Amino acid sequence: MVALLLMGMPASTWAAGFSIFEEGAKALGMGGAFTAQADDPSTIFYNVAGLADLDRTQVYLGTTLIFTGTKFSGVDPSPGFGVQGETGTQVFPPSNGYITHRIGNRVGVGFGFYSAYGLGQDWKNAATFSGRHISHDVLLKTFWFNPAVAARLNDHIAVGAGLDLVYTTINLKRFLQQWDANVSGFLDVGTLELDGNSGLDVGYNAGMLVTPDENWRLGVSFHSHVDADVSGTADFNQRASGDPAFDTVVGGLFPPDQGGSTTLKLPWLLSAGVAYDGLDRWRLTADFNVFGWSRFDTLPIRFDDPSLNLVRPQNYDNSIQIRTGFAYQYTQSLALRGGYYWDESPQPVESMSPFLADANRHAVTAGFGYRTGDWTIDGFGAVLITSDRSTEGRSNDGLNGSYRAYGSFYGVNFGYSF
């Protein structure tokens, strides 16, 4: 019974295609096309080789407010036409912080903090939501700590490397159901809350910058995959169904609270970019990113009682992003920025669920930068554009219909050099 209750827990509980790329306001003002530009402390994430060219000691702190929501429309036979669900607009505030220091003329060191993956889906009217037996509330947070070093080998080439130290927390809430022959239907018999965290799981990153002449910059960056080993508690709570005899039977089968664990396979990321400065006051940038989601083929779910263990197939595909941006130096102090990106979903339709129903995304961004003395402020805003995506009657969870996500996000970073 418990295996049946838990098997609806797909990997999109956590990352799926829900990467967070908003690691610096200057970069996002230019659509996130920053692999070759790499000229502020957020280069620790976008391309660590840029550390070699940052002057003095710099601090760069910021946050992003992500406004997002999802709507669901069901189809026959389950949950039926006309069945609706929505999360409403939710707000998530992933933050970032960096400190860098120049050593001599050719070496830079730094430390960065950011969130590279995250997810939250809190569906309204949980007790009646048609997907409540899969998930009605999930929250994933990842915290990345990145010590890094870079060196300029000569006038044309800089290289860098760093460690990705990742701490992950997960909370999932769902209803549990069981078939009642007396009513010829499923009844809610309890709830399950999974709550866990990892230690510091370890990956690495590396990058290179090539400047063949004064107008061109070429960059490549790589973040390795990370396996997040998460452990915690599984709290099972029975609830009355309204049928005392049935509740007695269910009570005899209901599992006790116990420990649970899983391994979340986060993807590798390869980025290549170009920046061009040959136009008066203008800089043009473009990035091509590849996420290695194909390694995310299964999600193992383990409990203290091994009879409850199961492995959930995921079958994700590698995915790409195309990012473009520009900056215009309007005055000596003020820069205006803009960008566009296209983000391909790695999620097959079979894995779409109330945890996450991902789709291909477009976004348009705009931003600014202002410098006065040793201070800088960078800001950006972006609008996400998506379309309806159907499960095509192939949902692994038997919950078929169409999902549509919407969102916008806004961020700011403050920088200081000393």
- The DSSP bridge partners found for residue 346 are none
Give the rounded distance of the alpha carbon of 21 from its chain centre.
Answer: 8
For tokens 């970019």, what's the residue? 273
DSSP 246-272: HHHHHHHHPPPPEEEEEEEEEPPEEEE
- Report pTM: 0.90
Identify the H or E element spanning 322.
strand 319-329
Q: What is the pLDDT of residues 387-398, one digit of tens each?
A: 899 999 999 889
- The DSSP bridge partners found for residue 17 are none
Say if residues 397 and 391 touch (Cβ distance below 8 Å): no
pLDDT value for 243: 82
> In Å, how far are 53, 63, 143, 220 from 274, measured between CA atoms?
17, 26, 29, 9
pLDDT value for 183: 77
What are the backbone dihedrals phi and psi of residue 330, each rounded to the nearest 5 degrees, phi first?
-70, -45
Q: What is the pLDDT of residues 335-382, one digit of tens each?
A: 999 999 999 999 999 989 998 888 999 999 999 999 999 999 999 999
Which domains does the chain carry?
A: 2-417 (2.40.160.60)
Residues 6+ apart with CB under 8 A from 262: 196, 230, 299, 300, 301, 302
pLDDT value for 401: 95
Cβ density class 13-25: b for 16+ within 10 Å, e for less: bbbbbbbbbbbbb
pLDDT value for 17: 67
CA angle 230/234/239 to nearest 5° reads: 155
pLDDT value for 12: 32
Those residues of the chain that have pLDDT short of 50 are: 1-16
User: At CB < 8 A and 24+ separation, what contacts does 276-279 make?
Assistant: 276/215, 276/216, 276/217, 277/214, 277/215, 277/216, 277/217, 278/215, 278/216
What are the backbone dihedrals phi and psi of residue 361, each rounded to the nearest 5 degrees, phi first?
-130, 145
**What is d(CA 198, CA 69) in angstroms, rounded to the nearest whole number?**
27
- Find, among 285, 263, 260, 284, the residue nearest to 272 by Cα: 285
- Find, among 313, 315, 273, 274, the residue nearest to 294 by Cα: 315
Say if residues 281 and 329 touch (Cβ distance below 8 Å): yes
Burial (Cβ within 10 Å: 0-12, 13-18, ≥19) of residue 219: buried
Say if residues 173 and 186 touch (Cβ distance below 8 Å): no
Q: Where are the alpha helices (DSSP H) in 201-307?
A: 244-253
Half-sphere exposure of 267 toward its Cβ, with a 13 Å CA cutoff? 29
**What is d(CA 81, CA 92) in angstroms, rounded to the nearest whole number?**
31
